Amino acid sequence: MLHLILFLVFGAFCVAGAVNLLVQRHPINSALSLIVVMASLAVEYLLLGAEFVAAVQVIIYAGAIMVLFVFVIMLLNAGEEESTKGSQVAMVLGIPGMAVGSGLIAWVLLTHSGTRAAQLGELPGTPKTIGWLLFHEFLLPFEITSVLVLIAIMGAVVLATRQETTAPHKEMGPEQLQRFDARSDFLSQATPGTAMAQSRKED
């Protein structure tokens, strides 16, 4: 009974946060309501016995990712959303679409799935068991994930830094440009492929 009450309370928090994310016009308000959704989802995970997932949800999602979002919103000084013709059409079609979609999913799930109840603490997803699984059965995916994160870090750095070295001609004066051209001539002569081609031409 307590399980059901907790589920309903935090499920209501979840849905309220998700709807608030849609209604708010300022991105910072949407970000804060998304934090509410994620924190109450962590409680739902705890109810299902997934302790590790609940902790990671709070630390990574509600912590790291949302801090990144809020930081970018502040950095770009994102203001209120403008209302355009496209957004009004999307509003008119989207809100009924969401209601129909949710209703359809709920109806199919409630009528066609069994009434089997998930027991509280039936399947304890403690850090110990999850860690054992990660480093035995899922070792290869785990390592590939670390490579993915490394690539993502490098990609983020490359994308977010200002690219000043790609267009050298714009910022260089005439003398510097001449020197740049001279150096590129020197470089092309120094490369072995072109040197060989030239010597072959001389033969």
Partner 1 sequence: MVPLSYYLVLSGILFACGVTGFLVKRNIITIFMAIELMLNGVNLSFVAFAAQWHSLSGQVFVFFVMVVAAAEAAVGLAIIIAVQRNRETLNVDRVNLLKL
Q: Indicate the residue among 98 and 177 with the shorter CB distance to partner 1.
A: 98
Q: Indicate the residue among 87 and 194 with the shorter CB distance to partner 1.
A: 87
CB of 177 to partner 1, least distance (A): 25
Q: Indicate the residue among 148 and 177 with the shorter CB distance to partner 1.
A: 148
Burial 48-65 (b: 16+ CB within 10 A, else e): bbbbbbbebbbeebbeee
Phi-psi domain of 121 (left: phi exceeds 0; alpha: psi -120 through 50; beta: other)? left
What does the block give as tokens for 139? 């070792």
CB of 17 to partner 1, least distance (A): 9
Rounded-to-integer distance, Cα 90 and Cα 82, Å: 13
N residues, the chain:
203
Q: Indicate the residue among 5 and 190 with the shorter CB distance to partner 1.
A: 5
CB of 115 to partner 1, least distance (A): 5
CB of 21 to partner 1, least distance (A): 6
What does the block give as tokens for 34? 């998304």
